[in-house]
Amino acid sequence: MAKRGQITSHEPTDFGDRDFPAALVNVTNVCNLECTHCFVFRDDNPNSAHDKMNDATMLHQLEALRDKHNIRSMLFMGGEPMIRKGLVFEAMKLFEHATIATNGTYGIPSVPGHVVSVSLDGPKHLNDPIRGEGVFDKVKASIHDRDLSDGTVVMLQMAITRDNAAGIEEFVEAVKDWPIAGVAFTFYVPPLNDTSGQGWDNLTERDSVVDRVLALKDKYLLLIKANRGALGMMKSDVSLNYTGEEGENCLMRNLLPLYMGDGPDGKGAFERTFCCYGNDVDCARCGAYAVFNAAYKKERPRPQAGDVD
């Protein structure tokens, strides 16, 4: 929340004149977890873990960017955005649509009418080696302890890598009776020349995991928040049509990513990265579900049963 007496130090970075109906903002580069797959903390990104832009300045800049680029929808991210919870609650009021992506370890924010996407990367025995010891149980408690009647739409999101792909069915069985609106899946977005082993060298290997998500969709039509058509577009024979070798086909590049850099005076400045996954990405192997869903929504003749936005 903007504190009394805080002054706004400067105007936002110039990102040109075009419209961006949707944007994301990393309100903080600080995070209490160190997830093994996290793209935010890759070397080439603005991500120094020290918050330099004060609340009043950030609110002012977000409002100015909203007006300049006609931003209607904002995804609040980090780092962990709930570390600056008060600021996020104020900034959400600036936008027609607001979503929070959180790791869930600070409790689930009560934001009636808005979506909170809570990250968990599989059942406990697969999630905790990725997200940290005890995180699964902590998030489970947060999800159950919240006020279930407050009108907040709570989703789970699992990022599938080679490390946790074996557990997608077990994950759905574990969470299917939790008080959530649904489970979303996205796939690993690797850096260039990835040596982590978390990605699939050959996308045909990933196809079998996509097929298993499709089977889960058939089994749990309403719980699984994915469109069959979008999942089909992730298959290795067509995926490049929607990503491009270097992002040239990717509709997600119409989204404005606001990362937090140091700024020329050390007081913080928004920086636009190559895409919402930062500067070091391998588009040819990108597994971001949102990329394929955006393409699907553009192409589909009419919505199919079980489609989600």
Ligand X SMILES: C[S@@+](CC[C@H](N)C(=O)[O-])C[C@H]1O[C@@H](n2cnc3c(N)ncnc32)[C@H](O)[C@@H]1O
Contact positions toward ligand SF4, by CB under 6 A? Answer: 31, 33-35, 38, 40, 78-80, 103, 189, 243, 247, 250, 252-253, 275, 277, 281, 283, 286, 288, 291
Cα–Cα distance measured from residue 212 to residue 190, given in angstroms and rounded to the nearest whole number: 21
209-216 long-range contacts, CB within 8 A, separation 24+? 209/160, 209/165, 209/168, 210/234, 210/235, 212/168, 212/169, 213/160, 213/168, 213/185, 216/168, 216/169, 216/172
- Examine residue 294 and tell whether it contacts ligand X (CB under 6 A): no
Quick one: what does residue 261 bind among ligand SF4, ligand X, none, with the CB cut-off 5 to 8 Å set by partner type? Answer: none
Q: Give the CB-nearest residue to ligand X.
A: 119
As measured in angstroms, the least distance from the Cβ of 290 to ligand X is 10
Cβ–Cβ under 8 Å, residues 157 and 77: no
Interface pick for ligand X out of 57, 186, 239, 243 (rule CB under 6 A)? 186
The CA distance from 227 to 306, in Å, is 7
Query: Residue 188: which of ligand SF4, ligand X, none does it interact with, CB under 5 to 8 A by kind?
Result: ligand X
The minimum distance between CB 104 and ligand X, in angstroms, equals: 8
CA distance 232 to 230: 5
According to the binding rule CB under 6 A, does residue 80 interact with ligand X?
yes
Asked if 102 touches ligand X (CB under 6 A), the answer is yes
User: Minimum Å distance from CB 129 to ligand SF4?
Assistant: 13
Choose the contact partner of 291 out of ligand X, ligand SF4, none; CB within 5 to 8 A by kind: ligand SF4
Which of 121, 102, 160, 117 has its CA nearest to residue 308?
Answer: 117
Residue 58 binding result from ligand X, ligand SF4, none, given CB thresholds of 5 to 8 Å by partner type? none
Quote the least distance from Cβ 253 to ligand SF4, whole Å.
5
CB-based burial, 71-97: b 16+ in 10 Å, e otherwise: beebbbbbbbbbbbbebbbbbbeebee
> Is the Cβ of residue 80 or residue 163 nearer to ligand X in the bound state?
80
Q: How far apart are CA 182 and CA 174, in angstroms?
A: 13
Which stretch, 32-40, 228-236, 238-246, 254-262, contacts ligand X (CB under 6 A)?
Answer: 32-40
Q: What are residue 100's phi and psi, to 5 degrees?
A: -115, 130
Residue 159 lies near ligand X (rule: CB under 6 A) = yes
Of 1, 2, 38, 251, the one binding ligand X by CB under 6 A: 38
Return the number of the residue (196 or 304) whose C-beta is nearest ligand X: 196
Tell me 78's DSSP state: S
Residue 91 interacting partner from ligand X, ligand SF4, none (CB closer than 5 to 8 Å by kind): none
State the nearest-atom distance from the C-beta of 248 to ligand X, in Å: 20
Q: How would you class 208 by CB atoms within 10 Å of its CB: exposed for 0-12, middle for 13-18, buried for 19 or more?
A: exposed
Where does residue 241 rank: exposed (0-12), middle (13-18), buried (19+ CB within 10 A)?
exposed
Residues that bind ligand X (CB under 6 A): 31, 37-40, 77-78, 80, 101-103, 119, 157, 159, 186, 188-189
